[in-house]
Amino acid sequence: MIFKGGNSVVSPRARLGRNVRIGDRSVIHDNVVLEDDVTIANDCVIGEPQSDYYEGEHYNNPETSIGSGSLIRSHAIVYAGVSLGSGFSCGHRVTIREGVSTGKSCRVGTLCDLQGNLTMGDYVWLHSNVHLGQGSLIEDFVFIYPYVVLTNDPLPPSDQLRGVTVRRYTQIGTMSVVMPGVEIGSNSLVGAGAVVTKNVEDFSCVVGNPAKRVKDVREMKMPDGTPAYPWPHRFDRGMPWAGIGYDAWIQSQTR
Amino acid sequence: MIFKGGNSVVSPRARLGRNVRIGDRSVIHDNVVLEDDVTIANDCVIGEPQSDYYEGEHYNNPETSIGSGSLIRSHAIVYAGVSLGSGFSCGHRVTIREGVSTGKSCRVGTLCDLQGNLTMGDYVWLHSNVHLGQGSLIEDFVFIYPYVVLTNDPLPPSDQLRGVTVRRYTQIGTMSVVMPGVEIGSNSLVGAGAVVTKNVEDFSCVVGNPAKRVKDVREMKMPDGTPAYPWPHRFDRGMPWAGIGYDAWIQSQTR
Amino acid sequence: MIFKGGNSVVSPRARLGRNVRIGDRSVIHDNVVLEDDVTIANDCVIGEPQSDYYEGEHYNNPETSIGSGSLIRSHAIVYAGVSLGSGFSCGHRVTIREGVSTGKSCRVGTLCDLQGNLTMGDYVWLHSNVHLGQGSLIEDFVFIYPYVVLTNDPLPPSDQLRGVTVRRYTQIGTMSVVMPGVEIGSNSLVGAGAVVTKNVEDFSCVVGNPAKRVKDVREMKMPDGTPAYPWPHRFDRGMPWAGIGYDAWIQSQTR
């Protein structure tokens, strides 16, 4: 393993757990907390100072925390004031602004742009180049595919932002846009290229511009004829029910 | 403040004004002019050599100028032959190719890709990940939201490019595409996900693929029932009329 | 020329041809082969270790090869296990994952994201910010414009991926999405913002969401009334028939 930390800069005011690895040229700013077994690859900036930094002399960097076992791939920029849960991992060149809070085991793909002041639950997976506006609320086990934008300004420009809510287990297809304040119910499927202008009910498949409900996802089948949705019964890679099955896992959670 | 310029490289042929700050590992190439009070954050390249550089032995870098008080955030690549007006600011990882010229107080978001040979007026704000094709002309006070593409090639591939024109005060919603040679009038609103194939008249709201005019923006209301557009009467953050009101500012301009 | 390789790291297990130039801070990992006359600009990572690297102690980096005369612009990340043909060139900040294989003279624009395990023929040109899913097959002389996504998962999430196939000479307009398993025939034109849900026949122009065939491209004219498609008769910049004409080149190929 090559984590020599050549030309890296770690603030004396950062706190590092056991077995933390830091790559070349990465910068760890004031008040960053890296828990045990965190890996920061090359050329990352963790705890990037917020805008005030460029103006005031008495800037104090807010706390940034990265949970145990997380892997931050190269060229990430994580602002001060971010909290990433344990087992977080990301691709290259992600930008995560202040006020982002994630649960455990989230994945954020290459080039994602998290605009700040938003909340992600557990096991939220963002593929490459997803843009989440401020005020977004994303529940557990939601997967969002490339080039999706969650918006927040109904009448631009304004400062009256209304974030998007996405309920658990929902899948949002590539190149979709979700309009400000929209709530997408649980276990839904938003088709690629959809423009979602209205709330979406649970278990709905919506497609088109503007998006329309075309079916109940529970009618959709895999090539072998088995039900495709809800998907947790047929997909477990990286999920907490891997190896034991979704039903057994749910029972273990509700006990 | 931490602008030690560690491992940065500043060409002896660059000219720096008073109070210029340069971050770590940034490179300032030949014939770059940084006016007073410019801040270049970490890992930027200013005056990136054009394509000829890789071929010829006698390459001479064209002049690049960045106006007073500008803030270039980290990992920006600004090519030689760019002129950015005073008070310019940008997010992270922007790419600005040769022949881009901006007025004063423009903002360019993270990951924007300005393809070169295009003109932006004053107070043009590009949100994250906006792609402007060569030949674009964007007038004052235009705001463009994430993942918008202004195209320029009517019959690809060709070298007969026709840029897009956007008149002042217009707002272009996220994930829209504007087709080559289209002119979007002033004070208009292009809805998210629109594909704009024809010219748009002043004060028009257009949506859909292909985009159709659905109303006059002057019919649109804020939640409190006041008119939403034209927007300058209700939004002044960062605008030159902040604190005095748009009408008073306009009068001061026309005197 | 400034290729001092300051602070660059070249593995003793890499193999470099004649006249290879390497910029500042670039990293060339184990088992990378750079053929003659390759230029690697600043801040690149060539042969980025695959995921196993972060876990195992006995990781062995697969071979990565970059063909003669290639130009890799700054901030590229090319994973181990990639093979780029001769005359390859790319913009800034590209990400190329393991298992990508290209023919000769391909171009990949700034911010492109090649997800791995995909094949590109000769003279494939990707403009900025193109996303190619795993399993994509792109034949010779295909041009793809900004923000296009080639998808691969029909019923997300799943591990049953079906890549997109694009036949030769086809042009895919900006912000289009091609659905999993779709085959786009040769000499076709996909309009900007299209969502391509079904196979496309040769010589078809398709537009819209969902995309529909609107005409035969051979009916389309340039402004001077000459046929626009097939395009090789009217466009030769960077093509192997430049200077001799397409018909003469085809004859030389089939002899």
Tell me how close the Cα of B235 comes to any Cα of chain A, in angstroms.
6
Is C131 within 8 Å of chain A by CB? yes
Q: How confident is the model at residue B188 (pLDDT cuts 50, 70, 90)?
A: very high
| For B6, nearest residue in chain A (alpha carbons) | A7
Average pLDDT over residues B121-137: 98
What residues contact residue C214 under an 8 Å CB cut-off, 6+ apart? Answer: C205, C206, C207
* Residue from B26, B78, B145, B177 whose CB has the most chain C CBs within 10 Å, to mutate: B177
User: pLDDT value at position A1?
Assistant: 40
Residue A86 · residue A105 · CB < 8 Å: yes
pLDDT exceeds cutoff 90 at C8: no
- List the single best residue of C155, C159, C175, C198 to mutate versus A (max A Cβ within 10 A): C155
Residue numbers in C near A146 (CB within 8 A): 113, 131, 149
Residues of C in contact with A24 (CB under 8 A): 9, 27
pLDDT in tens, B191-204: 999 999 999 999 99
Cross-chain residue pair B146–A149, CB shorter than 8 Å: yes
- B1 pLDDT above the threshold of 50: no
Q: What is the pLDDT along chain A (255 residues), one digit of tens a residue?
A: 456 667 788 999 999 999 999 998 899 999 999 999 999 999 999 999 988 887 767 889 999 999 999 999 999 999 999 999 999 999 999 999 999 999 999 999 999 999 999 999 999 999 999 999 999 999 999 999 999 999 999 999 999 999 999 999 999 999 999 999 999 999 999 999 999 999 999 999 999 999 999 999 999 999 999 999 999 999 999 999 999 999 999 999 976
Sequence-ordered list of residues with C-beta below 8 angstroms from that of B224, at least 6 positions apart, any chain = none
- Give CATH for domain C9-222: 2.160.10.10
Residues 101-130 of A with CB under 8 A from C: 110-111, 125, 128-129
Return the residue in C24, C73, C92 with the most chain B beta carbons within 10 A, the one to mutate for interface testing: C92
**B239 in A contact zone (CB under 8 Å):** no
Does B77 contact chain C (CB < 8 Å)? yes
Rounded (to 5) percent helix, strand, coil in chain A = 5, 30, 65
pLDDT digits (tens, 9 = 90+) for C128-146: 999 999 999 999 999 999 9
Q: How far is CA B129 from the centre of its chain?
A: 11
Rounding to the nearest 10 degrees, give the CA dihedral for residues C156, C159, C165, C170.
40
The pLDDT value recorded for residue B8 is 87
pLDDT given at position B59: 87
Strand B189-190 vs strand B177-178: parallel, antiparallel, or unpaired? unpaired
Confidence of residue C81 (pLDDT cuts 50, 70, 90): very high
B235 CB within 8 Å of a chain A CB: yes
Residues 196-215 of A with CB under 8 A from C: 207-209
| Residue whose pair of structure tokens reads 């691969």 in the numeric block | C152
Segment among A212-226, B55-69, C8-22, C118-132 with least mean pLDDT? B55-69
Q: Are strands B118-120 and A137-138 parallel, antiparallel or unpaired?
A: unpaired
pLDDT of residue B145: 98
Question: Among C43, C171, C175, whose Cβ lies nearest the Cβ of B157?
Answer: C171
**pLDDT for res B3:** 62
Distance of alpha carbon B185 from alpha carbon B204, whole angstroms: 8
Instruction: Give per-residue pLDDT as tens, C171-194.
Output: 999 999 999 999 999 999 999 999
Distance from CA of residue B119 to its chain's centroid?
Answer: 8
Residues of B in contact with A159 (CB under 8 A): 235, 237
Distance CA A163, CA A180 (A): 6
Stated as kind and residue range, the H or E segment containing C171 is strand C171-172
Share the mean pLDDT of chain C.
95
Confirm if C141 and C232 have CB atoms less than 8 A apart: yes
Every domain range in chain C assigned CATH 2.160.10.10: 9-222
Tell whether A35 lies on the interface with B, counting CB pairs under 8 A: no
Size of interface A-B (CB pairs under 8 A): 88
Q: Between A and C, how many residue pairs show a Cβ–Cβ distance under 8 A?
A: 88
Q: Per the structure block, which two tokens stand in for A59?
A: 């800037």
Considering only CB atoms, B92 lies closest to which of A53, A77, A158, namely: A77
Q: Measure the CA angle with vertex A243, ends A240 and A244; round to 5°.
A: 80
A246 phi/psi in degrees, rounded to 5 = -65, -40
For B162, the token pair is 């026709």
Closest residue in C to B132 (Cα–Cα): C146
Residues 164-183 of chain C with CB under 8 A from chain A are 175, 177, 179
Q: What is the pLDDT of residue C58?
A: 81
Amino acid at B238: G
Q: What is the mean pLDDT of residues B126-145?
A: 98
What CATH number should be reported for the domain whose range is A1-114? 2.160.10.10
Report H helices in chain B: 246-254
Q: How far apart are the C-alpha atoms of A237 and A231, rounded to whole Å?
A: 12
**b/e map A138-153, b = 16+ CB within 10 Å:** bbbbbbbbbbbbbbbb
Closest CA to C149 of A210, A146, B113: A146
Between CA B37 and CA B43 the distance in angstroms is 19
CB-based contact (8 Å) between B143 and chain A? yes
Yes or no, beta carbons of B192 and A179 under 8 Å apart = yes
Helix residue ranges per DSSP H, B146-245: none
Residue C170 has pLDDT above 70, yes or no: yes
Q: A157 and B92 in contact by Cβ < 8 A?
A: no
Residue B95 has pLDDT above 70, yes or no: yes
Chain B contact set for C7 (CB, 8 A): 7
Residue numbers in B near C222 (CB within 8 A)? 155, 158, 160
